[in-house]
Amino acid sequence: MFPENKSPLDKRRIDGNLRLLRLNLSDSLDFCSNDYLGFARSAELAGAIEKQVGFQKSLVNGATGSRLLSGNSLLAEELEEAVANFHKAECGLIFNSGYDANLGLFSCIASRSDTILYDELSHASIIDGVRLSTAHAFKFRHNDLEHLEALMKKASGTIYVGVESVYSMSGDFSPLSQILGLCEKYHALLIVDEAHATGVFGEKGKGRVVELGLEKKVFARVHTFGKALGVHGAIILGSEELRTFLINFSRPFIYSTALPPHSLIAVQCAYHFLNAQEGRINMLRERIVFFKEKAGLLKSLLFEESFSAIQCVIIKGNVKVKALAGSIQSRGYDVRPILSPTVASGSECIRICLHTFNTFEQIQGLLNEIESFCL
**pLDDT tens across 13-48, in order?**
887 778 888 777 668 999 999 999 999 999 999 999
Q: Are the CB atoms for 140 and 120 separated by under 8 Å?
A: yes
Q: What is the DSSP string of 87-113?
A: TT-SEEEEESSHHHHHHHHHHHSS-TT
Q: What is the DSSP string of 332-362?
A: TEE-EEE-TTTS-TT--EEEEE--TTS-HHH
Calpha distance 179→17 (Å, rounded): 35
Sort strands 234-238 and 91-95 into parallel, antiparallel or unpaired.
antiparallel
Residue 189: how many CB atoms within 10 A of its CB? 19
What distances in angstroms separate CA 56 from CA 46, 61, 69, one per listed residue? 16, 11, 22
Q: Does 341 sit behind a cis peptide bond, omega within 30 degrees of 0 on the bond before it?
A: yes
Per-residue pLDDT tens listing for the chain (375 residues): 455 567 888 888 887 778 888 777 668 999 999 999 999 999 999 999 999 988 776 677 888 999 999 999 999 999 999 999 999 999 999 999 999 999 999 999 999 999 999 999 999 999 999 999 999 999 999 999 999 999 999 999 999 999 999 999 899 999 999 999 999 999 999 999 999 999 999 999 999 999 999 999 999 999 999 999 999 999 999 999 999 999 999 999 999 999 999 999 999 999 999 998 889 999 999 999 999 999 999 998 999 999 999 999 999 988 899 999 999 999 999 999 998 888 888 889 999 999 999 999 999 999 999 999 887
Identify the pLDDT of residue 58.
Answer: 67
pTM above 0.75, yes or no: yes
User: Which of 63, 102, 81, 78 lies closest to 251, judged by CA?
Assistant: 102
**pLDDT tens across 233-276, in order?**
999 999 999 999 999 999 999 999 999 999 999 999 999 999 98
Identify the pLDDT of residue 286.
Answer: 97
Sort strands 336-338 and 159-164 into parallel, antiparallel or unpaired.
unpaired
Which domains can be identified in the chain, with CATH numbers?
14-37+277-374 (3.90.1150.10), 45-275 (3.40.640.10)
Identify the pLDDT of residue 340.
Answer: 84
Dihedrals phi, psi of 160, to nearest 5 degrees: -115, 135
User: What percentage of the chain exceeds 90 in pLDDT?
Assistant: 83
- Adjacent-strand bridge partners of 313: 303, 350
| CA quadruple 222, 228, 233, 239: dihedral sign | negative
Calpha distance 212→210 (Å, rounded): 5
